[in-house]
Chains A and B, each alone.
Chain A
Amino acid sequence: MNSNRTVIRASGITKIYREGTADFRALSDVDLEIRAGELTLLMGPSGSGKTTLLSILGCILRATNGSLEVLGESVEKLAEAELPRIRRAAIGFVFQGFNLFPALTTVENVALALDVRGVKRREAETRAAELIREVGLAEKSKSYPADLSGGQKQRVAIARALAGDPPIILADEPTAALDSTSGKNVIELLRRLAHEDGRAVVMVTHDPRVLSYGDRIIHLEDGRIVGEETRREFEEIAAAAAMA
């Protein structure tokens, strides 16, 4: 994949929720570019709009105002029925709660993402088994989610997100429910997807353990981007803070 090309371009993104007669502004005028080959962290306190922004970037929620381009295609002009096509073609999701299907085995969970894309069952299961191997869970391919640890579940979820070979991975607090070792394994896996596979990985987090892994860190507060640092800048700030 072509590293550093822009895969998502958002400008002036505003999201207003109507709650009864009152309006709640979840995002205000957000400008953002997501590039291939980078692990971008979206950070901010609860209620800052991180998940809303991730939903909009993932084309499962529409912005009230602003424009969004995914792989060069303008999303806001597309009909609602077109959005699943964009998601299938461009985006893989990783959820904090894993969102695996408890009735399906590990391989079947991954194969389901291919089934949604119209891939024949046998081919889907072969590809799913490869992905399960790639995330290091070959021996668990026939296990059900209930028999996996949190870290293993999240690796299955990542394999599922990769099933359609999407150039963009959107992860919502993927380490929040994991212990430190599992969390480290997952974040390293996501970083590898960005750096080695050239995918754009966007990760919502407020887990300070993962800060050092991000290529870019975007800070959100009250629905606005209030700061952005590269990893080098972050490391310099961290070093200065340590010296002080």
Chain B
Amino acid sequence: MGLLARRNLFHDKVRFAVTLTGIVFALVLIIIQFGLFLGFTTTTSNNIDHSNADVWIVFHGVGYFDTGRTFSERKFYQVLAVPGVAQAEKYMQAFARWKRPDGRIENIQIIGVRPGSEMGQPWNVVSGSAAELKEEDAILVDEVYREKLGVQKIGDRVEIGGHRARVAGFTRGIRSFTTSPFVYASFKSSLDYTNPTSNEADVGYILVKAAPGISVETLKKNLSERLSDVDLYTTAEFSRKTRFYWMFTTGAGLAVLTAALMGLIVGVAVVAQTIYAATVDHIREYGTLKAMGATNSYLYRVLIEQAVWSATLGYALAMIVAHFIVAGSEKGGAVILMPMEMKIGMFFLAVLMCIAAAIVSINKVTRIDPAMVFRG
């Protein structure tokens, strides 16, 4: 049985190549679509997820990260006085105008952090250092935006909001969901870049770390009792809210999700068609097996073993192709993520799709007119 399943698959190499191509195409399509969805989703909340904060304090009514609403610096000092607070940091997020060395203007999102803090720092710094942000006018940008922002190396100078800025380092893989790249600066510089005329040190967010032995829920309760006109979120809650906003209340996320689901449907259809066609090619042999006394369960096992072989080999090839596409996406504008959970899930999806397709074929096989075996 196993021998027949394998030999039937591998004997006709052209047919097998066509089958594998169909499976690989379907799997790569699904991986790309879901990888894009995952990439977009993760991108929307990247700064929150990497903040290392326990609680985010935001202006009342701010529902997601990219909303530019600030409150007075006094709130920050109130937070420091709340029991259970081990550390608090001012954090800024605001849109600004970036003037490239060649004079072209780009929109950016400034992220203002306290250099050297445990919270809110840029990550994956591949050249320079986050500590450089202590220096006046120092900024960090992601290497994927080098071309867009017109900077190539550390030391390149630009203007942000009419103020001088100097590239002090590059990060890798920190993308913005919007078209405006994130640019990291010290909190103080970020105020200059975004609101040069204001005398007041407005704060976008306050990041809070709980003292040892204090739970996040207790910390949130203590903060809520002492602060007004703010909303309090754990990092996970704020991340979820931001992701939900971008994915489900704007058309962008729904479009990506719909594309992912379409990819799944098209993928399943392609796999079903190729496995079905491969089975129909051997229909006379299955008829012969039935005449020889093979039970339906014997035929099922042959077909399912073929499906599992096809899925396994198709999956392996799809992973190789997907690896190159994912690697390529790191240099492009849209990130495609393929975490381990997705890789494992794709294997089971491949097997499931192929078996489901084989089951469609099984109906065809079990309904073979037995007399067909006597036709010359």
Contact = CB atoms under 8 A, between A and B. Distances in A.
B299 to A, nearest CB: 10
Nearest to A144: B11
B3 A121 contact: yes
Contact of A173 (B4, B293, B373, B376): B376
A48 interface: no
A188 B296 CA distance: 35
A104 B371 contact: no
Given A116-B292, A117-B293, A96 B3 contact: no
Contacts of A160: 292
Contacts of A117: 293
Contacts of B375: 97
Contacts, number: 83
Given A101-B285, A103-B11, A112 B293 contact: no
Contact of B293 (A61, A88, A103, A108): A88
A85 B293 contact: yes
Interface of B: 1, 3-4, 7-8, 10-12, 284-285, 288-296, 298, 370-371, 373-376
Interface string A123-143: 000000000000000000000
Determine the interface band of chain A, counting residues with CB < 8 A from chain B: 35 or more
Nearest to A176: B376
Instruction: Give the one of B285, B294, B371 with max A CB within 10 A.
Output: B371
Contacts of A226: none
A75 interface: no
Given A101-B285, A177-B376, A113 B292 contact: yes
Interface stretch (A1-9, A52-60, A192-200): A52-60
Counting chain B CB atoms within 10 Å of each CB, which of A58, A61, A93, A103 scores highest? Answer: A103
Contacts of B292: 87-88, 93, 112-113, 116, 160
B11 A99 contact: no
Nearest to A105: B7
A192 B375 CA distance: 26
B288 A102 contact: no
A81 B376 CA distance: 26
Chain A CB count within 10 A is highest, among B12, B292, B295, B296, for B292
A104 B376 CA distance: 20
A103 B8 contact: yes
Contacts of A86: 293
B4 A164 contact: no
A172 interface: yes
